Structure 1
Amino acid sequence: MAQAQAVRVEIGVETLGGVGIADAAGADRIELCTGLLLGGLTPSTALVAQSLELASRTKVQVLIRPRPGDFRYSPAEVALMRADIGQVRRLGAAGVVFGVLDEEGQVDTAAMATLMEAAGDMEVTFHRAFDVCAEPYRAFEQIMELGCARLLTSGRQPSVIDGAALIGKLVTRAGGAIDVMACGGLRADNAAEILERTGVLDVHAAPRIAVPGLIVEGSEVSFAEPGVPQDFDHFEADAAGITALCEAVARQG
């Protein structure tokens, strides 16, 4: 009787505190970024370097995304992404996370190829640009042909629960050629259901809690954008949520 394969947990973090929490909880990988409220942006080289020093067992994957918004990038932006990938590679990260679409919403295979070349022997994850591409099955074949190690997806739905059917189809279609990693509201209390419904061996989550900021009496200034915590609040990785997820996934193995 074949043994069940262990499921790998990746945690999205944007601070050194988050790196330490994910590492202590036993996460297999960290997706390091900044600006999670914007969907994630490229972190500074200093944050990457210090995260690599801090993570004792967890592999560090670095998000390469030069700006918020869509995933159609100008030649200058692609050049910047290539330069960031080179910096991350020299620092010794295990992998990078990026995705580029063209004007028709298809995978921009030319831009992806130049970025894949810059990544060299690092693992490459094609991120959730897939979830807004024009033709998912065509895109999936292109992503596999490019040689990406994994695809991060919510199944083209806001919630992984709603996207589970498509994720399961992608896992079957991949046939082990690429790892399909489920994300999108995945937490300890629904991890078992998602694993059963999709067959994935990789899950991704970024559990966070709001940290109240210092309120100065008499000040009317706020730097918060609409829809984000008010005043000077910020988010930090949720230690309890991350630990619970890692434990829940380990029980399924």
Structure 2
Amino acid sequence: MNRILLEVIATTPEDAHIAEAAGADRIELICAQGEGGLTPSLGMVEQIVSELTIPVHAMIRPHSRSFRYNEAEQRSMLRDIRYFARSGMAALVLGVLDGNGHIDEVALQRMLAAASDERDDLQITFHRAIDEVDDLNPSIELLGKYSTITRILTSGGRPSVLEAAEAFPALIRAAEQHSLSLIAGAGLTLDTLESFVRQTGVREVHLGSAVRQQGNIQLPLDAERIQQARKILDACVN
């Protein structure tokens, strides 16, 4: 596949329709973008899944304080997972760490089981919780054990993915060894998108404020900016 996939953050039905019409390959549906993205409402999930033709991935994240979740929070996440799985969406986006800053594999297994109990074809993206672990490679290997986890959204362990550009090709190769795709996200702009893609060879990118009006995280998506991003990505494979 030559096409580089463009994932766009959507927070409203309007965002979702703009993203699809402007050329996004899929959306990541969240609320509270200013907090890094939290679980959207079930009503909005069901509406958008029913109205869009491109894949919808939805966030499972009950709060932004950390990526550690107590028993009550995990039960809430499991409920959301089950409800969302029934909505017909393409994938869930989640991640969970333990008190030592490692992937909480026990909690992760519970979440994967809840998703699989509803739909065995539901894909999982492990999100940027992975950027808080000490060493990305063992975490990538761990996630590769689970067949329903197909993607990892990451900034390469740095605050901005641009700071990890040199390391990204090796991370991509490590992920591919475990049948995982890396989605590059956090810090990409329309001005840096082409050079980053050409330098790293990444095949999937995740854009938020870069494709919003005035580049402002609080404003709606901008169709022209999404179209510009699409043209940039298409030029990278020609």
Instruction: Answer yes or no: same fold by TM over 0.5.
Output: yes
1:91 match: secondary structure: coil
Query: Is 1:181 the counterpart of 2:186 in the alignment?
Result: no
AA aligned to 2:219 is F
Alpha-carbon shift at residue 134 of structure 1 (Å):
2.6
Pairing 1:90-101 to 2, within 5 Å after superposition: 90-101=86-97
* Rg larger in structure: 1
Identity %: 34
**Residue in 2 aligned with 1:214?**
none
Pairing 1:166-205 to 2, within 5 Å after superposition: 166-175=167-176, 177-205=179-207
Superposed CA offset, 1:59-118 (max 9, x none): 000000011121011111111111101111111110000000001000001111111112
AA aligned to 2:181 is D
Matches of 1:200 and 1:210 in 2, distance apart? 26
Pairing 1:34-183 to 2, within 5 Å after superposition: 34-56=31-53, 58-120=54-116, 121-147=121-147, 148-175=149-176, 177-183=179-185
Query: Is 1:209 the counterpart of 2:213 in the alignment?
Result: yes
Matches of 2:229 and 2:161 in 1, distance apart? 15
TM-score of the aligned structures, taking structure 1 as reference length = 0.85
Superposed CA offset, 1:39-73 (max 9, x none): 000000111011112213x1000000011121011
Alpha-carbon shift at residue 123 of structure 1 (Å):
1.0
Matches of 1:79 and 1:49 in 2, distance apart? 21
Alpha-carbon shift at residue 154 of structure 1 (Å):
0.9
Mind listing any 5+ residue stretches in structure 1 that lack a counterpart?
212-227
Superposed CA offset, 1:110-138 (max 9, x none): 11111111222211000000111132221
Q: Would the aligned equivalents of 2:30 and 2:37 in 1 still touch at CA under 8 Å? A: yes
Alpha-carbon shift at residue 242 of structure 1 (Å):
1.5
Q: Which runs of 4+ in 1 moved over 6 A?
A: none
AA aligned to 2:170 is K
Alpha-carbon shift at residue 5 of structure 1 (Å):
2.2
* Number of residue equivalences: 229
Q: Would the aligned equivalents of 1:155 and 1:165 in 2 still touch at CA under 8 Å? A: no
2:166 match: secondary structure: helix
Alpha-carbon shift at residue 191 of structure 1 (Å):
2.0
